[in-house]
Amino acid sequence: MIKNILITSAGRRVSLVKIFQDTIKKFYKNGKIFTTDMNPKLSSACQVSDGYIKVPRVTDEKYLDIVKNFCKQNDISVIVPTIDTELHILAQVKDDFFKEDIFIAVSSISICETFYLKDLTEKFFIDNGFDTPKGIDDIRHCSYPIFAKLNNSSCSVGAQVVYTLNAAEDLARDRNYIFQEYIQGDEFTVDVFIDRYGSVISIVPRQRLEVRAGEVSKARTVKNQSILQAVKELCKVLDGVYGCITIQLFQTGNRIVFIEINPRFGGGYPLSFHAGANFAEYLIKDYLGEKLVYNEDWQDNILMLRYDAEVIVDGNSI
């Protein structure tokens, strides 16, 4: 049976917490969703969750013990990580936690490490014959504009179009920048659910219509067969992936250009849920040993319009 679930680094992921809160009740009526954050008193998701614990930075030596003890004390069956920096750390202790009956819903160490860095990601796509923006080694001999991004960034921090050699040289002083061919086209984030057998259960392409501060603010589901097919091909070579992963790509003319893979729930996942792809349910069923089957039982052309909602807390109470 499944009891409670822990969502780590919950931050502002209120919708994800609510989806899990609603879904767990179908399987265990007293099921609770707990959360962690470095600053849970200022985390909207922690405030709406059924309980939370303040944790140090994931790289802190005490981090894993604190999480494990919290799991034991609160009957946590499954841990769902949500940010890039913790994925490989949690992947390393997946077996160790499992001995204590705590299942970490995370891909293999190798998957987490590969897709944490933009240069390893690029190499992965090339080695496996998938289209990806061409890397630019020599910024003095290339045609502009080009695209620059930080090797280890998330949420598009630092990512930008670069129009001149001067601007590229400025950025290149930060050795963490990498440069690539600049791709223009329709941008998609694809939510994929992969079960314990490595089988693809669901693929939901979400077209980005508007982005705000690196997070999608308007998007729609698109049952685009070329994308579904290309993602299925990609998943065949993604050895060691598990659970919800999000794949970013551009479609431009006949090209499907893969940009990156985040082996975790993406911020825009609530759209796939509302379209009918309940990955929380897939995750719980897979945990319970139920056999899942690939399906496209989600609605095409569902629009998500995001807005700033607020959680209000009495500052004296926290």
What's the min distance (Å) between Cβ of 70 and a second copy?
22
Indicate which single residue of 68, 123, 223, 306 sits in contact with a second copy (rule: CB under 8 A). 306
Nearer to a second copy, 47 or 246 (CB): 47
Any contact of residue 15 with a second copy (CB under 8 A)? yes
Nearer to a second copy, 15 or 180 (CB): 15
Any contact of residue 166 with a second copy (CB under 8 A)? no
Pairing of strands 243-252, 76-80: unpaired
In this chain, which stretch among 36-44, 73-81, 115-123, 191-199 interacts with a second copy, using CB under 8 A? 36-44
Ramachandran region, residue 226 (left: φ > 0; alpha: ψ -120 to 50; beta: rest): alpha
Cα–Cα distance measured from residue 140 to residue 172, given in angstroms and rounded to the nearest whole number: 11
Any contact of residue 14 with a second copy (CB under 8 A)? yes
What's the min distance (Å) between Cβ of 78 and a second copy?
23
CA distances to 87, 102, 180, 290 from 116, in Å: 9, 24, 17, 31
What's the min distance (Å) between Cβ of 276 and a second copy?
11
Indicate which single residue of 162, 171, 235, 304 sits in contact with a second copy (rule: CB under 8 A). 304
In this chain, which stretch among 39-47, 61-69, 135-143, 253-261 interacts with a second copy, using CB under 8 A? 39-47
In this chain, which stretch among 10-18, 89-97, 122-130, 186-194 interacts with a second copy, using CB under 8 A? 10-18
Cα–Cα distance measured from residue 194 to residue 107, given in angstroms and rounded to the nearest whole number: 10
Torsion angles phi and psi, residue 200, rounded to 5: -80, 125
Nearer to a second copy, 13 or 88 (CB): 13
Cβ atoms of 26 and 99 within 8 Å: the answer is no
Amino acid at 22: D
Any contact of residue 274 with a second copy (CB under 8 A)? yes
Cα–Cα distance measured from residue 118 to residue 141, given in angstroms and rounded to the nearest whole number: 22
Cβ atoms of 36 and 9 within 8 Å: the answer is yes
Other Cβ atoms less than 10 A from the Cβ of 260: the count is 19
Any contact of residue 270 with a second copy (CB under 8 A)? yes
Cβ atoms of 277 and 151 within 8 Å: the answer is no
Any contact of residue 316 with a second copy (CB under 8 A)? yes
Site string for a second copy, 40-69 (x = CB under 8 A): --xxxx-x----------------------
- Residues 6 or more apart from 307 whose CB is under 8 A from it? none
Q: Of 215-234, which residues contact a second copy (CB under 8 A)?
A: 215, 217-218, 220
- Give the residue among 220, 190, 215, 221 at the shortest CA–CA distance from 308: 215
Point out which residues bind a second copy (CB under 8 A).
12-15, 42-45, 47, 209-210, 212-213, 215, 217-218, 220, 267, 270-271, 274, 299, 301-316, 318
